[in-house]
Amino acid sequence: VSALELGPGREFDAIRALVAQWGPLAVGVGGDCAVLDVPGRLVVSTDTSVEGVHFRRDWLTAAEVGYRATTAALSDLAAAAASPLGVLVAMTVPRDWQRDLSALAVGIGDAVRRAGTVIVGGDTTRGPVLSLTVTVLGSAERPLTRAGARPGDHVYVTGEFGGPAAAVRALAAGQQPSAPVLSHFVRPVARLAEAKWLVEHGAVAAIDISDGLTGDLAHVAAASGVQITIDINAVPAVGASGDVTVDDVAAGGEEYELAVVAPAGLDRAAFQAAFGIPLTDIGSVSAMGQQGSGVIVTNDGRHVDPSRSWDHFSE
Amino acid sequence: VSALELGPGREFDAIRALVAQWGPLAVGVGGDCAVLDVPGRLVVSTDTSVEGVHFRRDWLTAAEVGYRATTAALSDLAAAAASPLGVLVAMTVPRDWQRDLSALAVGIGDAVRRAGTVIVGGDTTRGPVLSLTVTVLGSAERPLTRAGARPGDHVYVTGEFGGPAAAVRALAAGQQPSAPVLSHFVRPVARLAEAKWLVEHGAVAAIDISDGLTGDLAHVAAASGVQITIDINAVPAVGASGDVTVDDVAAGGEEYELAVVAPAGLDRAAFQAAFGIPLTDIGSVSAMGQQGSGVIVTNDGRHVDPSRSWDHFSE
């Protein structure tokens, strides 16, 4: 069923326009359901981005909004080291965004193309505020979860941190972020290929950093029933200048880098050569402490409060 | 990973409360991804319900809002005659709905339980208006689509029509709908078991009626490359009184009954005995006409305009 094989109607005209924009990236869109073959186990996640909550329109182009929302969802597949099979895009589009629908579609398509996958379905409706709910479908023989960390393992992160938080702080103050900081904010990458390399080299647990490094590592600690200790100064920060604070690194959200748990000794040079970004050993896993599982953060040996993290549900 | 194995945070508290509400209906919620085994082919669809667009808060309880949004999505699996594997629920919850989160969860759980499936994941965020995007996952060896109708086949519908449209008209006029009309509006059913019976008895194409009978049949005609002719007076209307008009039957949305195409002679008495609702032969399929594929609607032999249908994207 091609999307051109829909009956008449304005909603269907919008779907036809989106599908024309996406070209060969859209596969089978327009029926009641998408139908896919799943080699291995199905890995699935859904992620919502709402204007005014997850992004501000004056900080991003429509294409960047679409790119980031789609990348945020694809990043969950990277956390599972899954291979993407397709995405579904549910869009709520207010009247004042309708002229930007094509630019949104360009950004969505860009993220989908970069991940080597396709758009298999979705929904389009009107509403008072732009909202994108992207559902990602992937497959893996043995998906990574948050639950595999064992005492003695080490904790690694991909890439550099603090860019998105520093960019948001600058933009909120009416300042222009530095180029590397801005780039990490508007153009995050779902670490899909990196995740496969990491699981092939021994990674046993992973999470993608969407709510802040220490907060997300707390989920790994809780799910694995372990204590995690990291040195926040070991985590690479974006850029050379003082744009990025330790707090940006420890608690900034929407990084979409991976934190993985693996036996010590991952070949960081090989990783850097393969992907052009660093892989950094930032800490280790120990048995559950007296206070239960959790994250201990040190800064040059001094303990710091790891409790701050982005929390979209708080006011 | 159980949802209790999440780190601290108010968003995670909300997820924990939802999962506690759902009890054994929630399976593996709280990780980055849900992981499922898919017997046969994966069938997937996503469906958004937005306050003020798809429902009005003063017409429905929170539980009814949750039930209807979830049933609308599950109905797409029925159109494919797929067996549900699980649902993902992405909720955008404004402040003034937060006290109703538990009632929403009850309604969602009710629809999920009725469909014999489970909740495998989701997302919870704040936003200016309540919005539920429900993604449904199912499996089928040979999913039904809109594309299988052949000249000579007949068109059948499950159940009775016009209830939702008549209910909305009454509510908008400040009147109380009759009990059967209101019940069809607040308590639609995803015809999952009925769809399996129909495909086992020869159905070759199907659609669930979400945008109106004639508009949805136009999708079947377009996807199958055929002409469909129906007698609108053959379609059973809800109730005995004059609550429901021919227009409600022909063009009313959100019915979630099925229209299926099958060879003539489906055993309607056996269907009625099995499911307690009628199965009705309402028309037939012919080769594509001079004007291409489409739907011809007759009312006591007189042609009527089949172009009206619910269209959430129009203003």
Q: Establish how many alpha carbons lie within 13 A of residue B60's alpha carbon, considering only the half-sphere containing its beta carbon.
A: 26
Cβ separation B76–A32 shorter than 8 A: yes
Interface test with B, best of A1, A15, A35, A308 (most B CBs within 10 A): A35
Of B44, B219, B295, the CB nearest to A121: B44
Q: What is the pLDDT of residue B8?
A: 61
Residue type, A146: R
Cβ separation B36–A42 shorter than 8 A: yes
Residue A315 has pLDDT above 80, yes or no: no
Residue A286 has pLDDT above 50, yes or no: yes
Which of these ranges, A182-186, A238-242, B5-9, has the smallest mean pLDDT? B5-9
Tell me which H or E stretch contains B140: strand B131-140
Instruction: Identify the residue whose tokens are 């379905």.
Output: A121
Give the pairing type, strands A226-231 and A279-287: antiparallel
Q: Which residues of B touch A226 (CB under 8 A)?
A: none
Which of these ranges, A166-180, B12-26, B271-285, has the smallest mean pLDDT? B12-26
CA atoms of A148 and B205, how far apart (whole Å): 45
Kindly indicate the confidence band of residue A2, based on its pLDDT and cuts at 50, 70 and 90. Answer: very low
Residue A162 has pLDDT above 50, yes or no: yes
Q: Which residues of A touch B42 (CB under 8 A)?
A: 35-38, 42, 85, 137
Which of these ranges, A107-111, A181-185, A285-289, B240-244, has the smallest mean pLDDT? B240-244
Interface test with A, best of B46, B129, B208, B315 (most A CBs within 10 A): B46
CB neighbour list of residue B160: distance below 8 Å, 6 or more residues apart: B184, B236, B237, B238, B239, B257, B277, B278
pLDDT tens-digit series, residues B175-197:
999 999 999 999 999 999 999 99
Region A194-218: what's the mean pLDDT? 96
Kindly indicate the confidence band of residue B69, based on its pLDDT and cuts at 50, 70 and 90. Answer: very high
Region B188-217: what's the mean pLDDT? 97
Region A154-161: what's the mean pLDDT? 98
To the nearest whole number, what is the mean pLDDT of chain B?
90
Residue B65 has pLDDT above 70, yes or no: yes
Q: Which residues of A touch B56 (CB under 8 A)?
A: none
Kindly indicate the confidence band of residue A19, based on its pLDDT and cuts at 50, 70 and 90. Answer: confident
CB neighbour list of residue A8: distance below 8 Å, 6 or more residues apart: B215, B218, B307
Q: Which residues of B touch A140 (CB under 8 A)?
A: 35
Phi and psi, residue B187, nearest 5°: -135, 55
Interface test with B, best of A44, A49, A213, A293 (most B CBs within 10 A): A44
CA atoms of A145 and A206, how far apart (whole Å): 6
Cβ separation A46–B137 shorter than 8 A: no
Instruction: Identify the residue whose tokens are 């091609």.
Output: A2
Q: Which residues of B touch A120 (CB under 8 A)?
A: 44
Q: What is the pLDDT of residue B310?
A: 39
CB-CB contact of A298 with A229 (8 Å): yes
Cα angle A257, A262, A264; round to 5: 115
Cβ separation B221–A9 shorter than 8 A: no
Chain B closest-CA separation from residue A309 CA (Å): 8
Residue type, B3: A
Instruction: For residue B49, give the chain A residue with the closest CA.
Output: A125
Q: What is the pLDDT of residue B7?
A: 61
CA atoms of B164 and B169, how far apart (whole Å): 9
To the nearest whole number, what is the mean pLDDT of chain A?
90
pLDDT tens-digit series, residues A40-84:
999 999 999 999 988 898 999 999 999 999 999 999 999 999 999
Kindly indicate the confidence band of residue B314, based on its pLDDT and cuts at 50, 70 and 90. Answer: very low
